[in-house]
Amino acid sequence: MPGAEEVLLGAIPLEDLDLIVDPVRQELTGAHGEEALFMLK
């Protein structure tokens, strides 16, 4: 958004990106741990 300093993403869009929100530890982690799913060249 123009002029916005921060952007807030919800848990559902993040989960669509294979990210998991941990509200207790306040962390954002990959749904597949350290496993690489694909590599961009």
**What pLDDT does 36 receive?**
65
**What pLDDT does 17 receive?**
81
Residues 14/8, Cβ–Cβ less than 8 Å: no
Euclidean distance between CA atoms 27 and 22, whole angstroms:
5
**What pLDDT does 40 receive?**
63
**What pLDDT does 26 receive?**
86
Residues 18/29, Cβ–Cβ less than 8 Å: no
All residue ranges of the chain with pLDDT < 50 are none
